[in-house]
Amino acid sequence: MNPRFLAISMLAATGISLSTAVAADDTTTTANSAFIRKLVNEALTNHPKMDAAEARTQAAEAAVRTVRLWEDPQLMLGGTAARKSMRMDDGDIMVGAEQMLPRRGLFQAEKRRATAEQAMQGAEQRMTASDLGLSVAQSALELALADDLLRLQAAELRELNALVDVARERAKNPDATAVETLRLEGELELRTQTLEAAKRQRTRLGLTLSLLTGRSPRAEWPELSLPNTVSAEPSSSALLARLEKDNPSLAVLRHKIEAAQAETDASVQKRKPAFMVGVESNIYSGGDLRDVMFTLKMSLPWFNDPIYKAETARTNLLRDAAQHDLASEVRTLDGELASMLTEAENQRRLAKAYRTQVLPRQEKTVEAVKNAWVSSKATLLEVLEARRMQLDTRMEMERALAAHHAALQSLTALTGGFALPKVSKP
């Protein structure tokens, strides 16, 4: 079970009781998928994490345009200091230009690397959106669970007040004592303080959700409730197919492999010689052209061949590491998917059992013990214990319901349901 839901459930823990199930009324808002999707869209629009991810994506798009086929040409100017006769014969001003010829193989490899890095950054943006969406969904469910527990505690106070009234009437009997009344009044005060603490915790949860969605920290959230309906989960094969296709973290690793392969190809191209063409002209300052010379230059990369080979080996190893990372991530996510499917199904069945089998019996038990106490056939301790058991059942049902929906939201995140739409490659 998600520990975050367990922590909230403990807001109404020890000793609270309820004789009948408390249902949300028409004024509450159900934290269903449509409501959560709306909050997720707010977060994706307003959260600075998304602004940062968008800026990095745009930077990666700009990086694609920085890859160039032609290097900058070079201009050369020079002069000769000599006797006038020599300068008149050979010229005393030298003008030249040089241009490296395009290395199309290297250009294409670097272009593919930049494109893969752009796609990888886009997948990173989708992964950020997915993580943020899951945080919003969990926070919304926590707030809904807290509101359900607040309603339980408020109903418990009303029940305890009724029991206090009964105890006070019983205390009027000359043979009775005030012990039961004092015990219930102490219990009532304890539950009142527990309710106030739960309200303060609810305020904190609302603040967390406001910060995630970009609302004002002082924004008032409507009273929420957990969806009461539970349904069977999609088939594992369908979810596995969606995970393989749409999970953002897998997309990041795939594009990382593409970038590593392109970098390997670029390192191979760097081992090939580069060619440069040039033209030089000698001119006499008096205005006459003396000669023009055309040049062809070639780099000699073989002197650094061990270095180039080491670079190629490095990029190959990085590509292999990325491939292993992808295989490892697939296994990890497959395990998480199976775990979430099992959790969702277990909690669905548990919530159903509590609602249809256990809770009705507990309610009948509480009512019978309460009537026996009124007729002096049972003790106050038996009443309180029966009510605690009944509340424990109710609380476990709420926890199971919350855990079920939390597992469904985790499945949504794993299969890319919260991610931004995919952007096609340029």
Going from the N-terminus, what domains does the chain have, and what CATH number goes with each? 3-65+105-272+304-414 (1.20.1600.10)
pLDDT band at 24 (very low <50, low <70, confident <90, very high): low
Structure tokens at 2: 């998600």
pLDDT band at 142 (very low <50, low <70, confident <90, very high): very high
The pLDDT value given to residue 15: 33
Q: Among the listed ranges 17-21, 146-150, 414-418, which one has the minimum average pLDDT value?
A: 17-21
CA dist 9 and 393 (Å) reads 12
The pLDDT value given to residue 384: 78
CA dist 19 and 419 (Å) reads 44
Residue 358 DSSP label = I
Predicted model pTM: 0.81
Place of tokens 């957990």: 226
Neighbours of 160 (CB within 10 A): 22
What is the pLDDT of the chain when averaged over all its residues?
85
The pLDDT value given to residue 366: 86
pLDDT band at 371 (very low <50, low <70, confident <90, very high): confident
Are residues 316 and 267 in contact, defined by beta-carbon separation less than 8 angstroms?
A: no
The pLDDT value given to residue 320: 95
CA dist 185 and 102 (Å) reads 90
Structure tokens at 95: 């003008």
Cα dihedral sign, 377-380-384-387: positive
- Does the pLDDT of residue 426 top 70, yes or no? no
pLDDT band at 206 (very low <50, low <70, confident <90, very high): very high
Are residues 42 and 213 in contact, defined by beta-carbon separation less than 8 angstroms?
A: yes
The more confident residue out of 403 and 420 is 403
The pLDDT value given to residue 177: 66
The pLDDT value given to residue 175: 62
The more confident residue out of 230 and 74 is 74
The pLDDT value given to residue 160: 82
The pLDDT value given to residue 1: 39
Burial of 83 (0-12, 13-18, 19+ CB in 10 A): exposed
The pLDDT value given to residue 163: 79
- Does the pLDDT of residue 83 top 80, yes or no? no
Mean pLDDT of 311-329: 95
Half-sphere exposure of 89 (CA within 13 A, CB side): 5
The pLDDT value given to residue 413: 92
Mean pLDDT of 210-215: 94
- Does the pLDDT of residue 265 top 70, yes or no? yes
Mean pLDDT of 309-338: 94
CA dist 138 and 144 (Å) reads 10
Mean pLDDT of 296-312: 91
The pLDDT value given to residue 387: 81
CA dist 88 and 286 (Å) reads 8
